[in-house]
Structure 1
Amino acid sequence: MTKLKVAGTWGGILEVELDNWTLTMLRDEVANRSGLDPESIKLICAGKILKADDGDDDPKTLAQLGIKENSKILSSRGAAPDEGKAIMAEEERSRRLSRLKAAATALSKRHVDGSLPMEDYNIELEDQGGQQVKFGSETDQSATMMGLMLHAKAKSLIETGLYVDALEVLAMAEESFLLCDPKILELQIPDETLSVVMGMGFHEKDAKRALRLNNKDIATSVDFLIEERAKRAQKHKDDLQRQKEIFEQKTYGVTLMNKAVDMQMLDRLVLIGYARDLAAESLRRHENDFQKALDALTSPEVNSSIQVYIESRKRKRQEQQVGITVDELVSMGFERGQATSALEVGGKREDIIQRLLSSPAANPGTASASGSAFTENGGATSSTNHEIVAEAKDSEMEDDTADEIPSNGEVEERDLE
């Protein structure tokens, strides 16, 4: 028997037969004495990691590997295959949670600084009475939004059984709430009172909330719930109106500071008597400064230049939609005035050309030949200035986070019973 000095995960003298023992046998023995998985043990001798040739039918003995009597063997613990997979899974989970937090942060900040929402959803905070909540600072507003979004996402994770992830997301939500001064009302609702309100056709969650807000008074709570239904219907109507406003804002573009056109300022200018698109362009050029926009509109030269720009932008959009430009129609032999009028009417590319060909003032031969050539070559496209540029963001995670937020008047609360 030959003695080997082992140090590391286990230390001591190990007696082996160098001519009979293989590296696998040595590793198993060291792992057994260390109480570890053999796959997680690495053996080092003379500065080299000992590796067994698992594909060889006749594995080398310790003597063939150069191990001699009284050789010093260092055993170190590496990551087992299963442990490595667990580490990778944990890293992936951490990255996913980091993306979630970053997405919630981006969404909460984007909807409080006055910039134009780039998405189809518009995030606002309301109190238990349905009134929009405005905090003293953007920090409080952003922190509350972020906490509520993370809280909603955690509920979704709980429903899917991802309890560990949900716990971490809830912890992140609590960190956000700590930046504010939330007031949580804890009231215990008697089962008898709750049953009476639910018996009138209301859901348990709504009934609990109404009783808490109205000191457990049944009559007042029922009146409150009826009023809430009316408010939700009005809220849905207001949301549709807000979506229309956002769509209208996008058609006007953004200012140099990436701000949307102020709709209240726009309505004031429209009441004075200016065309809506003309007033919007003036506000966009002057960063929503009402007085500067009004001065520009009262100046004949500036007013005229704005109108020319608006007409040019409309024409380019029409050309993009139909796939043909005024200049291309003119090159076919049509008059510029006729071409412009045909584009304003709208329709498909072929319809516009056919409409011009049917016009008494058109030159059929020239237009037909040019039209055939243009059909083969295809149309050109153009772009307008000041289009809204979407900021770089994690769209997938932000959309997923926003989808968890209650909409159309649904109220999110924490049941502390």
Structure 2
Amino acid sequence: MNCWLMMKGTVDLLVRHADGALPIEEFDIQLEDQSGNKVHFSETDRLSIMTGLMLHTSGKRFIRKQMFTEALEALTMGEEAFSLCNPKSIELVDNIPILQIDMVWCYFMLQDIAWIAVAGLRLKNAREGLERAHGKDSSRFRLLQAGRTSELALYLRLELLEGVVAYHSGQFDKSRKFLASAQEKFFQLQVPDEALSLVMSMGFGEGDAKRALRMSNQDIQSAVNFLVVEREKREQKREDDIRRRNEIMQVEQKRYGVTPLKKAVDLQRLTEVVSIG
């Protein structure tokens, strides 16, 4: 059975868990088949996936800070966490291939030629994993993403790294092929100033406008529609966060009951007292 791993609230989890606001147990991962039917998997798989996702996110933060050695350590641990999962549960998701690409990017930025052989193997596995997840020529991915091409930058990075590895392995023809394809994708990702200005004039930031135009093949209307829907989703998420926070507070309030004066226990004061010891 073909299954899709629906990472429900993954980004929310990573942010809120990092802040210590909500424990990992408060979140769920849903596995669905192509008909939308839920498929359940083990607690071990669930925890392994969440651990892998958080370590991957940590690694990407280090990459943004150009701390590539630390990033590689986090990504390696993330890969180990994913390896504990049942392969059938995650074979059609792209988190692991992307993690492998990020690892090779760290090799590249560290300029360590000793990693060339390992890098080549990781990139091969990453390409195969992306093809399983996205379909041949990304057909499955575009179907799920309503025809948008958000994966273009991902494949650009993959082909750039494949070109570098092929070059250092003496495979010059293959290297030229990969690099030419990467260059073509780079040009596709360039955003015309006029289109960018039009989208920004509708109240969207430059970064969001560029991203939406790239995902929409520079189509202004599609980009605006995408950003409007995304904004609505963010607002819904904010409301869900507030509701969830209130639910947790209510559970905590019920747990501690009331004071002798029949007033609700002040949870903030209680936390301060407990922290004092």
Q: For this structure pair, what is the TM-score category when the shorter chain's length is used for normalisation? A: 0.3 to 0.5
- The structure whose RCO (Cα within 8 Å, separation 6+) is larger is 1
Structure 1 length as normaliser, TM-score?
Answer: 0.28
Relative to total residues, which structure has the larger helix share, 1 or 2? 2
State the TM-score, normalizing by the size of structure 2. Answer: 0.40
When Rg is computed on C-alpha atoms for both structures, the one with the higher figure is 1
